[in-house]
Amino acid sequence: MMPLPERWLSAAFLRYNGRMILIDCGEGTQIPIKLCGWGFKNIDCILFTHYHADHIAGLPGLLLTMSNSGRVEPLTLIGPPGIKRIVEGLLVVCPAFPFDLMLGELSLKKEDAFKINDLIIRSIPADHNMPCISFGVELLRKGKFDADRAGKLGLPVKYWKVLQSGENVEYNGIVYKPDMVLGEPRRGIKICYCTDTRPFRGIAEFVNEADLFVCEGMYGDTDSEDSAVRKKHMTFAEAANIAQNGNVREMWLTHFSPMLVAPEESLAMAANIFPNTVVGKDLMKKTLVYA
């Protein structure tokens, strides 16, 4: 809810093939981005879970930093309904940029999905005290190329790579499609980000088999369940139950209460339910690869 000397506000940065997506933009987000050394020009999209200040107040500063970095390409901002009014209000203090802002709204009644480059972004309405969304980001993986099948088609080798990349090929008046030389799609990579919400119907299915599940843990102990229910947040144990029921591979806890000054001391509350739980820290990074 507020930045602390050793704890920045909410933001998660995803990078793939040099392109980047930012989820949430708390106050001062441009500083840890700079500390990561990843730069600003290649951010394709900023996703917002909701519009409480600790998740969006860093937007004006970040946009100014991106302007100073020489960015001219349009930037996409996506979140729950109302994003136009929110962004217009924030930009009163920085009204001019050398790039356009493209705004998009997501449904609060059903799951949504859209594509950014090679990434599939999925969203699901969460249960907070204002409109809020949880996100899933998936990098799909094509089936394995079958050289024997390609050879039997009589298609010259120079076209194989085109089919492997997912494009059709026309040769001698015949159209060849990728599924003619590719096996069944293989398991890709999946990341889910869920914060500022109570556990809700469908969340375990939404995060199912995620390689990394970043989830809020506002309260460390079960004695705080009443506060979690009232303020629409989660305890460590509730987050761990979602991770276990969703069969995720790893969970990072984040978004701790300012009163929870040493969240690692409560780790057992989650790890006893879902052992592969990590207490999130600023600038924590992980590289995910195909299994």
Contact 47, 79 (CB under 8 A): yes
Report how far residue 172's alpha carbon sits from residue 152's, in angstroms, rounded to the nearest whole number. Answer: 15
Q: Are 10 and 2 in contact (CB under 8 A)?
A: no
Tell me whether residue 44 is one of the annotated catalytic residues.
Answer: no
What would the DSSP string read from start to end of 89-119?
HHGGGS---SS-EEEEE--SSS-EEEEETTE
* Tokens 């020489």 -> residue: 70
- The residue annotated as part of the active site, out of 24, 54, 112, 211, is 54
In terms of Cα–Cα distance, which of 69, 3, 7 is closest to 283?
7
Whose structure tokens read 């701790």?
A: 256
- DSSP three-state, residue 181: coil
**133-141 and 119-125 strand pairing:** antiparallel
* Residues with a known catalytic role: 54
